[in-house]
Amino acid sequence: MKDVIIIGAGPCGLSAAMECRRQGLSTLIIEKNFIVHSIYLYPTNMQFFSTTELLEIGGVPFTSPNDKPFRHEALVYYRRAAQQHELEIASYEEVLSVEPIEGGVYAVHTVNLRGEQQKREAANIVIATGYFDQPNWIGIPGEELPKVSHYFGEAHPYSGMKVAVIGGSNSAVDAALELVRVGATVDMVYRGESISENIKPWVRPIFESMVAKEKITLHLQSRVTEITAGSVLLTRQNGETGLLDNDFVLALTGFRPSRTLLASVGAEMDDSLDKPVFNTATMETTVPGIYVAGVIASGRNANEVFIETGRGHGHLIANHIHARRLADKELKH
């Protein structure tokens, strides 16, 4: 039995494991994919908004020749940090359920790549499952077509194609710019009056230049309301509609955390904010011994918790578990 089982091997889960080990707690990470899978899903050429210092975990320095590191650098860094801390990670093992058993212990039921089911036990559970598994579906006809993707990896497959990008955030802007570079015809559709104010400052002028040069056609105050095999239907705020000839749709509308595990253990949810109720000083939910770390602690806007903020959750969790264990020992004596 472990002192702590952490579900999710993203940066915040890794950080939590490092902090728990530092407090002398036996720790296991269970990850249904592989280490920092969420970062792996980022666009191939993505550059972070944060500096290396704000992405560091476990006291391991993150060095880069760039002011803001790129995706491939982060993958190397987090692998190296996990190895340096000798973290125990069960990769490609999916958690099916968590249930309380006798003695204040939790049983974690999992299944691995071979289909083998296992039961692992721990006194404390940290849910750090991220949010990339659940895209925000628009809920329009045709969204299920093969031409539609909620993920953007790289532009090469779209060379010479007509692509509609739905969204106005950094991910949408980055995708649109990469698509232009491979010769795609790009229509960018966003419901707002302008693209997000949070666009990376070094990217915004490049994007605006591409719009001014008509390399990107920007449709503001508009929504895609139907997708067909050869077109998308736009509905503008004033009610006007129009068809765009189209080969592919990138619906970059964001993601939301899955609350399934939290609900299964009976953790209370704040329905008005769509987030778990937890103690901000300890990250413990309303169920003793069940903690949240990273974006799972956020509400409807998953962007309210980033790596640079979520990486500190592990320190709070480890301190609380360690202090509780010391208090329990004193009571027994």
Task: Please report, for residues 81, 144, 209, 269, the alpha-carbon distance to residue 84 in angstroms, rounded to integers and kept in the order given.
Answer: 5, 43, 44, 36
CATH label of the domain that carries residue 66? 3.50.50.60
75 with 23, same domain?
A: yes
Residue 214 and residue 97 share a domain: no
**Do 311 and 238 have their domain in common?**
no
Dihedrals phi, psi of 156, to nearest 5 degrees: -50, -45
47 & 72 share domain: yes
Supply the pLDDT for residue 330: 73
Boundary residue ending a domain (251, 276, 296) = 251
Domain boundary among the residues 207, 235, 251 is at 251
Number of domain units in the chain? 2
Quick one: 65 and 12 in the same domain?
yes
**pLDDT score for 300:** 61
- On whether both 177 and 225 belong to a single domain, the answer is yes
pLDDT band at 272, cuts 50/70/90? Answer: low
Q: Has residue 140 been placed in a domain?
A: no
Residue with the bigger pLDDT between 272 and 11: it is: 11
In a domain, 138, yes or no: no
Average pLDDT value over all residues in the chain = 92
Spacing of C-alpha 317 from chain mean position? 20
What pLDDT digit, counting tens, does each position of 56-94 carry?
Answer: 999 999 999 998 999 999 999 999 999 999 999 999 999
Which has more confidence, 299 or 231? 231
Q: Given the structure tokens 């949408």, which residue do they identify? A: 172
Place of tokens 């721990």: 122
Pair (245, 262) in one structural domain: no
Burial class from Cβ neighbours inside 10 Å (0-12, 13-18, 19+) for residue 226 reads middle
d(CA 301, CA 295): 9
- Which two structure tokens, joined as six digits, stand for 234? 């736009």
Shared domain check, 181 and 166: yes
Examine the domain organization and report whether 81 and 160 are in the same domain.
no
Domain that holds residue 200: 148-251
pLDDT > 70: what percent of the chain? 96
**Sign (positive/negative) of CA torsion 184, 185, 191, 192?**
positive
Whether 139 is covered by a domain: the verdict is: no
Q: 132 falls in which pLDDT band (50, 70, 90)?
A: confident
Reported confidence tier of residue 134, pLDDT bands at 50, 70, 90: confident
Are both 51 and 91 inside the same structural domain? yes
Q: What distance in Å separates the CA atoms of residue 155 and residue 218, rounded to the nearest whole number?
A: 18
Closest CA to 58 of 26, 36, 86: 86
**Quick one: 13 and 82 in the same domain?**
yes
Same domain, 127 and 275: yes
From 251, 278, 302, the end of a domain falls on 251
Neighbours of 157 (CB within 10 A): 12
For residue 306, the model assigns a pLDDT of 72
Which SS3 state, helix, strand or coil, does residue 125 take? Answer: strand
Question: Is the per-residue pLDDT at 288 higher than 90?
Answer: yes
Query: Does residue 51 lie within any of the structural domains?
Result: yes
113 alpha carbon, distance to own chain's centre: 22
Q: Are 42 and 73 in contact (CB under 8 A)?
A: no
pLDDT tens figures, 299-308: 665 555 678 8
| Position 175 in a domain | yes
Return the pLDDT at 298. 82
Q: Are strands 222-227 and 231-236 parallel, antiparallel or unpaired?
A: antiparallel
**63 assigned to some structural domain:** yes
Is 10 inside a domain boundary?
yes
More confident position, 170 or 272 = 170
Distance CA 293, CA 319 (A): 14
Q: 171: Cβ–Cβ under 8 A, 6 or more apart, which residues?
A: 43, 152, 252
Q: Is residue 141 part of a domain?
A: no
Are 67 and 51 in contact, with CB atoms under 8 Å apart?
yes
